[in-house]
A and B are shown apart, each in its own frame.
Chain A
Amino acid sequence: MSAAKVKMRQKKLRNQPASVQCLSSSVHDESSPHPNAGVFARARAAEVSAMLRAVTKTTGSCHVFGALPRHMRRRAMSHNTKRLPCRLREMANRMREKCLQGGVKKKEQAKNKSRKARRRHGNMLLEFNRRQRKNVWLETHIWHAKRFHMVKKWGYCLGDRPTLKCYRPSYRAMSTHCLLQDLSYYCCLELQGEEDKLLDCLSQSMYCFSHSTGPTFAQRLCLSGQRQGSLVLYRAGQFPSQPLGSVTFLWRPRTPGSVHRHLWTWVHPTLKQDVLTEFQSVCQCQSVVPPHVPLVMDAKVVSTTDLEPKPERKHTPGTKRKQSEKDAGGPLAKKILGDGTRSPETPVTWKSSSTGILINDLTMEIVRYRLIGPQSHSVLTEALEAATDCDVRAPSCLWWPNHCKEESKMKLHQQQTDLFHTLKGVYSTAELPPGIVLGLTVDDPRLSIPPKRVKALSCVKEVGDEKRKELSLRGVPEHCCESFLWEQSVRNNVTENKISEQDLNRMRSEVLVPGSRLSPVPLQGRVPILLVHQPGKQVGHEMNSWGAGWDLLLPKGWGMAFWIPLVYRDVRIGGLKMSLTHSQNKGVPHFPHDYPDCPAGARFQGEQESELLEKFKRRPPAKRTNYIKHGCLAPFSCPWQQLAEEWDVIGSEGGIQAQSTSLGDIAMRAERTSHHQVPGTKQQTHFTVLRYLVFFMTICYVMFTLVPVALLNFIPIILFPRTRKSLRLLSSWCGPTSSQGQRSYCVREMPPLDHTAKKSFLASHGMSLVWVRLSLLLKGKPDLHAMVSVPTADDLKLLSRGGPGSSAPQEPPHRDHLKSTLKRGKKGTKKVASDTPSTSGQITTTSNDPQLSCPASDVVLGVWPNPLPSVTSHCSRVTLGWVTQADFSLSAGCGEALGFVSVTGLVHTLISQPLEHRGTVLLRNPMSLQYRFAKINIEV
């Protein structure tokens, strides 16, 4: 028998009684001749106990069900003791407890409440409030969390993309009907003060431009409050360099007889802190106004719930559970409105003693919904109804009855209502002048919610034609832009006095005809809102004003009350992904993604790089793409600075060179020269982005008002009209046609591209990058960080010969120096140990090579280690730039990419190309060796 078997047998027979027998013969002599009854009784007793032990103890196995015959054992018995027969259950329970205690030393788990208890409203609110403390939840969070993949970004929980497959339907909604997004995470900063002082502070330090020409906060139309403006902010006094990012802003219309103005600046959350500190320093608003109790009412309530220690939920057996819970949870369960992460002591208001300017941080105080698409106005007009007036004589704590008493306010309301009704007759949202603002007071939209989802469609009527025409030409008159949403007291009043869903449902149930509209409207049900038009695509010549829409601004707390009625008008809901697609189709840079020169953009790039690198590392090493072999230097983030510097060097070299030299040669030479430079001697000029921003302007509009050309550039010395001109120039040089399948258009006469023009152009824009759109000529779908390269003359010949598909060139595979060095290094060390003279020479050569002598510690195989070699001349085609947004464009029907290229490189490329192929570049994905022809487009 094997040792294990013996052991098993021993274990099995551990409790079985052994035979009691005396082997020695001496027993016989010692034992007394007459054994008394006592000895005998003891023997019997001993036997009984032995037998007892044998009977009660089962086999050696520690499981209780070892006591059962095999055919009665079940696998589930091991964890469910109720499967065991009754007689074994108790023992099994005890064994289980012992196992749990002793075995793993598990942490003592708090006893969870039952599901029913957890789902009770008060407890649910408590749980939600606890979960909101780290990341801010939007008001539509629960709605989104049920339907979206949520991501935690910028301190918020945001919906990334729906769990449904709806990429295409969402695109269709954007181009034909309406797409809804919750943009409440955008932060609103409010500036209050006298108009002159505000403008002084903002303009003198934000820009070196005079207001008359520059797109500043002082834009005339925007200043009147009729339009929403948008611009790129720079650090105070640093105008040409150090941009902060793009913001949109909105002025409150002037109240007659007062110079006190309000300005709302909407910034992205990544940008908020930068802008806030900038505003503070510019306006000298250093003194903190302590949070005012009635003003920050809700925040206070939240704070008390946060700070109060949680009551111990121990129930003495005598008291009823429900009662004690009510006592403990009653005052606590208050819904968090606004920013749940902020402590109440955090200052939200700053005041300047010298200028009297007040800065207010209105983050999460105002809900912002964006409706994108041509039918968004009909969705709005169907979901919202202008407030009905009420005649209550008695003074009321609600705001609307008080307003109804004033004649002027009611007149204004009437005018606004008329305008809103006019909006119904508009055919498409894109007809309206971009950026118009309409203030309004509406009824509670929950009252008119349809029983089923219905698609909102516009009803174009011929009547009221003049009114409509006037609206689409002139926009909204100044006084109609006023809304009571600007008033903090009204906002708070509305937020506090919202009818709860429960009360509303109760009122609905009391209606005589079920499902009919509630009337009269309860007094609390009037909400001031602000409608802001968002312009669509404004650059380029095709698909004009695609993706126009409306922004709906609401007081906080009313988010869900407006969201559900909007959803019931059969709109699609989009997440963060969809806003990226939106801006991609519009051809505009998306905020943190495509602003590599801003601190927020740089931060985003770093995050994206680490994210992509992590994703790359998660793959098994044998399955990873070897980017070195693909000749891709920067698959995860783009070294814009290096690109700009290298092209600067190439440009200066190329100016001296004869025209015939190919770009590749120049690049190689330039690389060599730049290698000789010590890094310290390089000029520390940062790359710049040749940027302009169209200020909501359409051609028909120019005829009515003198809109200063809204354009921002990034180039020092040059005044911006010339920048716009130079962008136009560059655009015209790029070639006669735009992307695939679009009609060609006529441009004004531009100076042709020749060497003198080039020289003068590059003198001013040496270190710049320019935002371009690339559309693929043939097949192919570009990827993120695809390379834009210059085609050689042979490539262009291939293109003109025109074999479909196969004509594009291929990159010859590169050698993975790093891998071979690592291998050689391993072998080399071995050989050095054995001391062979032949390999020592090899080792010295490798150590001489500056690129290869990198430390092997933090090297990821397949990715270039950090001091990158020359990015331009690394591949067989010279690199111009990279792509930051790329996808198959559903609107153009071909692959389209957006990205930055070097201005110097672009001009050099264009001048060397024959006229019929001008503006043709090559695009190569990081994971492939295949180049694709693409047409470059600069849209002005």
Chain B
Amino acid sequence: MISDCFLSWGSFLLNTNLVIILSSFSQPGAAVSTSNDTYWMHQAPSLQVHHPVPPQNNYQSPLETKPLYETPFQGHQRATYPQEMNSQSSFHQAPLGYRQPTQTAPLVDSQRVSKVQIPTNPRIASNLPSGFTKMDKDSTAASAAQAPAYVSVSMPKPKDHTTAMSDPGTFPKSLRGFVERAFARCKDDKEKESCEVALRKIVKKAKEDNTLYTRDWDTEPLSTVTTTNVTNSESSSAQLSSLQNKSPTRRPKSRWEPLVEGKPFVKPASTFSSAVKFGVWNHQNENNKKSSESFQKVDAATGFKPTYSGQNSAKKSFQRPVKRQRFSGGAATAIDDEASSDSDKDLTPYYSSAMALAGSAEEKKRRDSRSKRFEKIQGHSRGNDLTKPKNANVGNLHSRRATALRLSKVFDESGSRAVEDIDWDALTVKGTCQEIEKRYLRLTSAPDPATVRPEDVLEKALIMVQDSQKNYLFKCDQLKSIRQDLTVQRIHNHLTAKVYETHARLALEAGDLPEYNQCLSQLKTLYAEGIEGCSLEFAAYSLLYITLHSNNNRELLSSMSRLSEEDKKDEAVRHALSVRAAVTSGNYVMFFRLYKTAPNMNSCLMDLYVEKMRYKAVNFMSRSCRPTIPVSYIVQVLGFTGAASEGTDEKETDGMEDCLEWLKTHGANIITDSNGDMLLDTKATSTSLFMPEPEDAVAHGDRNLDVNDFFTRT
């Protein structure tokens, strides 16, 4: 039952003008006046929430109810999002979808909605009702008296698609033809709108006369439509056209987004899946966020820019989305209350007629009291409407979200422009997020200022990471999010350099070379811009990196020639240059001495070459020396003892064991002499030495892309 109600309502979303006009007359109490649109708009949720009332209450004639039952999935798709999205999203989605037509329908691109077609997926739909139980308690407000409001909603003009979508059994085919013909005669939006009103009247009259099925619609003169209409709709259409001008619905062409006018909903599937991803991510942090997040995205991508108020002044239509959306992420129950209280304040002129419909003072009182329950939330969000993010309550998710959504909506608008036209200065985000910790999530849309941290917070975040005792994966994640925030805010200063330096050092420590390289290339540009930093330290790193890893002579030459005499005096750079000399000449003794005296993180980069150097050295020794070499010598020369542990006997034996283990795995031949000393049999070793396959090798060559590693990250 619950689901039925919802589904029937959902079908409304997509059923187009024709069906709505026609079906509207199934409501005996329907008020046809356009002024009810507003009212309806706010009541839509409560009506929808109305499931305890059997649908039959709303739809008296079985004939009318039937189509609404049968078509649900078509309309439903718009409201059905990924499975884990609960009632909040679907619930919220619905009114948006509804409201949208109220605004666009008679005015502009009527094809947009009418062509909406989504593949049916009943599986998803079946999940929805469960979410609705939440709203049950609020649904009481919705009474039969409100039901008619729904009727007056105008939908975009139907074209051929309409017929395909609506159940053919509902109205006589001839009537549909009549309506279509009437619309076809309309030259512009204004005419269409008045035509629509006129059609309603005609159909209503026919219904009352019980001639709906008897009358010959094929021969019905269209003049009846055109003559009755004009006076009726003059005033409202004037209002509407003013709104239309300012409406953000019309998007400039962009190559990046599918054009809605042509074939809307071409991409719903992909959008949905991205919404799923989003949802999953946010789910980990804040449950509340996800629905609105994904919703917002879907909205943007499908081109359904919700332009809300139908009859409000244009100005209000710009303000309202914010208020509406503010609660989209919050408790679902808040929506209808907020909506009604909003209308109390902002929309009194339009609301009055609706009030009359809603009828009683009692109803109003009830609504007032309900809205008061949410004053707290409202307070937060109101405060947030001032673009002073710092005043925002840090802990209040809803309010932060609100600003975010409003701004991201602004971005959606501008994002639909072609990339080259974008004014990046205007788009540069100013973060408002006050939280120090933030997980990294690769941006797939315009950044949301509420989740972006301003510079002072980022500074704290950096200190947090530096002091953190947690593992590298955590730090890497945090630093990446800091980097992202810096990037979207286009911060290029000492802090940026510091963040990249910190990350590069940590990456080196953890042996995460891809990340290190990313940081290094950023640092190079930062240093080139003249930003102070530890440029020499990193010059040393890059020298070492080229020497030890890329093994590219030309690159090495050019980076060496870039060093000035002054640079070469720096300890780290000098050390790096000596390491290079040791490596090119194969001087292993020098290499391991430098390894022990390495400044900064130079030893981390050398670490990665130690294995190769040892192999080379043992190879040299076994070919050149006869007959034996004591293992203890190898231990000493090839740095098997840690620099710090030198001198203590205990560690010495540790080094011995390490060395023996290493020699064995590399196929060396070890013998023991009469004194019990371990010796390397060089002649035997010279032929048996081999480089073992690295244990952590992966087929694709990048250990960091290991599946297990991926799981530990996520």
Partners in one complex: no
Q: A: which residues have CB within 8 A of B?
A: none
Q: B: which residues have CB within 8 A of A?
A: none
